[in-house]
Structure 1
C-alpha cells in the first residue's frame, strides 16, 4: 500500500556491524542468505561445559591509548562498528554541528566483563587492580564512549531493557529527530560475552548445548552471542526508512513472556500503525525466535493473531546466537541488508517445525531472493519489554 506523504522521514544509513558472522557487510550478507552459522564451541565462560557461542573472532581495535574507564570489550566492538560506519559519519560531521548530533546506545552488559576480570584478579580479600574503573560497567558508558570518539555533544544516553534495548534505541533516535532535539543520531547497541550473561541464562535452564533450533519441535534453548551494530539516523527521505516503531510493556513476569503473545502483538501492531502499513504489505519478518519453548510458542501465536497469512519469516539467532542488548539493532541491520539486496535471511534449524505451534512461513534457501519493500523486526525482552521496528525501502 502507499505511504502518506506526511509520514515522518527517518533514514537509516548503511550500518556498521560486527558480530560472529564478521565485520564486513558482504560477508555477513552471504552468511545470512545462505544460512551459514557463525557459532563456535567453547567452555570459556562455563568451565567443563562446552557451549555454542556467537563469538566475535575478527581483530578489534587496540585500547592501550584509551582512558582506563573506556577499556571494555563492549567499547572495542563499538569502535570497530564506528570504523565500518565511517563512510556515513564523514559527510554527517561536515554538515551538522556537534551539538545537534545525538547518541543512543542499547546494552545490557556494558563493561561488566571487565569487572569480572578485576574481581578474579583481586581474589577473595585482595584489592581491585589499579586499572579497574567502576565507570566501565555503568550502563551509560557505551554512549559516552561513542560521543567522545566522535566529538559530538548532543543528547547521549543508554537504554537497558534487556533484549529489546537497541531496538528501543532506534525508536528513541526516531523520536529525537521528530522532536527537533537533534538533526542526526548515532543509534544502535552493543553487548559482549561474559560470565554473567552465559551463566545467568544457564541458571534459568534456557541454554542449549547444541546450535539452537528456533521453532523446531526439538528446540531446547538459546545460544548466547555478542555484537555491535550502529546506524546514522537522519530526517532524510530516500534509502531505507525506519517507517514505524512499536513498543509495549506487558510486565507479565520477570523473565517469562506472556503466553498469549498479547504484548508482542501490540508492539507489532503499533509498528504497522505508525507507518500506515497493512499487515499484508509486510514482505519479511525477522522473528525474535530464541529457540526456547516458551518464547517461540508465544511469538508464533502473536504473529498468527496479527497476520491472517504470516509473511515469510526467519530467526537469525540460529546464525549469530542471541546478542541480547545488541540484538534489536543487529537484526534491524539484517533487515536493512534484506531490503537493500532483495533477499531474505534463511531460517536455519533441523527442518522439523513444531506441529503444536501455529504455522509460520519459514524462509528456505531456494526462497531467499524476492522483491521486498517492508521488513518487520521483533525484539521481545525480559519483563515484557517488547519492541518492533518496521523498515521500508523507499521506492524511486
Structure 2
C-alpha cells in the first residue's frame, strides 16, 4: 500500500460570503460514537471499532451495525403518544441535551416564527414491524397505528413538544435527508420566514432497512472500509443530530450548501461523479470560497465499490492540485441514512470548535485506484482551519454538500 501523507491546503485567505450564513447556536448528536462531543472525539481519533454485531435484524445471520449504546428517553408526553416510536424517543433524547438552551434562546421570538425541519428515512416503522408481520400472517387483527411511521410525524411531534407554530416538515431523500434539512432551514431564515429553525436528522435501526440493503447485496460482511481495497458494502447505523439555526453569529456557522440531482439510476450514482462534483462546486461558489480554503472534507464514503469510486473522481475534479485532508467516518458510525448528514455535520462542527484533531480514516489497505488522496492517518490537526465540507449523496443522485466555517476570532 502506498504511504499516505496527510496534506494541508494552502489557504487563499479570500473572504467568505457571509450574506446567507447562519449560526449554529446549539447542537446535540447521538450515535455509535456516544452521546457527547468528548466521546465523539475519542472514538474518531482511536482505531478501536464502535460498531457491534447483531443477530436480530436479518434472519439467520449476524450483521455489523452502528447502534447507539445508551438508553433512550422513555418519557414521551401524552400528547405525542400517537406518534410515539423509538425514532421519536431518539429525537427527544437528543433534544433534551439542548432543550433548556433552545427554549431560553427562542423565547425572544414569536412562536409563529419558529420552525422545524427534520430529515429521516425510516421514521417509526421499526415499532410497527412486528404488528405488520402479524397482520400479514393473519395472526392479529389489531389496528396498526400508521401515524408513528409517517414521514411527517417526527417534525410535527417536535413542533408540538416545543409549542412552536411556524413551519414544520420532514425531508426524506434517503441518505441526503438531514443535510437537506439543514439547507432548508438556512433558506427559511434567509427568506425571512423564520427567526430560528430546529434542523437535523433522526434514523433508527430497523429490519426493513437492513433487509432492503441486503437484497441489494450492499451490506458489508465485516466492518466497512471506505475506499478500501477489499470494500464490499456498507454497515447501517442509527443517529440523531439536532441544530438550532438563526441569523445571529455563532462560533461555527453554516455557510452554504450545494445541491444537484443526477437522476442517473434509481440506486447507483453517476459513475463519473458529475452530480457530486457539481454539489461541491456549488457549495464553494455560494460560500465565496475556493477549494484551497477547505481544511477538512468529510466524505460520503459509504464503502460500496461504485459510490467510493465516483466520489473520489468528483473530489479530483473539484480539488485540483489541492491537498485537502479527508476521511469517511462511516466505519465508526455506520451509514446512518436519513441522519447521516446530521451526524457528519456535527463532526465537522466539533473539529472546527476544537481546532486540535481530525477524524481518522480507517486503517485498512486502500484501493490503489483511489489511494492518491490525503486520507487522515494522523488525527492531530497540523494547523488551524476555518472551513470544513461534508458530503451526502443519496439514491437517485440526490446530492448535497455543506460548508461549515469558523468565522469568529
CA shift digits 1:321-348 (9 cap, x unpaired) = 0000000011000000010011211112
* Residue 361 of structure 2: aligned partner: 347
* Residue 195 of structure 1: aligned partner: 207
Structure 1: segments with no counterpart, 5+ residues: none
* Residue 397 of structure 2: aligned partner: 384
Pick which of 42-51 and 59-68 moved more: 59-68
Matches within 5 A, 1:321-340: 321-340=334-353
Mapped contact 2:261–2:275 kept (Cα < 8 A): yes
C-alpha separation in 1, matches of 2:123 and 2:366: 36
Cα shift at 1:64: 6.0
Point out 4+ residue stretches in structure 1 off by more than 4 angstroms: none
* Residue 54 of structure 2: aligned partner: 42
Normalised by the length of structure 1, the TM-score is: 0.96
Structure 2 residue 280 is the aligned partner of structure 1 residue 280: no
Cα shift at 1:13: 2.6
C-alpha separation in 2, matches of 1:199 and 1:370: 44
CA shift digits 1:228-284 (9 cap, x unpaired) = 100000101231111110000010000001000000000000111000001001000
What is the count of residue pairs matched by the alignment? 394
CA shift digits 1:127-148 (9 cap, x unpaired) = 4435x41111111011011111
Residue 159 of structure 2: SS of its match in structure 1? helix
Residue 107 of structure 2: SS of its match in structure 1? helix
* Residue 93 of structure 1: aligned partner: 106
* Residue 77 of structure 1: aligned partner: 90
Note closer, same or farther for the CA distance 1:50–1:139 as it changes in structure 2 (3 Å cut).
same
C-alpha separation in 2, matches of 1:63 and 1:129: 24
Structure 2 residue 378 is the aligned partner of structure 1 residue 365: yes
Structure 2: segments with no counterpart, 5+ residues: 1-12
Cα shift at 1:120: 3.0
* Residue 161 of structure 1: aligned partner: 173
Residue 53 of structure 1: SS of its match in structure 2? strand
Mapped contact 2:76–2:89 kept (Cα < 8 A): no
CA shift digits 1:196-217 (9 cap, x unpaired) = 1101111111101211000111
* Residue 9 of structure 1: aligned partner: 21
Mapped contact 1:215–1:296 kept (Cα < 8 A): yes
Cα shift at 1:49: 1.1
Cα shift at 1:63: 4.6
Pick which of 368-377 and 180-189 moved more: 368-377
C-alpha separation in 2, matches of 1:310 and 1:173: 31
* Residue 255 of structure 2: aligned partner: 243
Cα shift at 1:52: 0.8
CA shift digits 1:166-196 (9 cap, x unpaired) = 0000000000000000000000000111011
Normalised by the length of structure 2, the TM-score is: 0.93
Mapped contact 2:351–2:358 kept (Cα < 8 A): yes
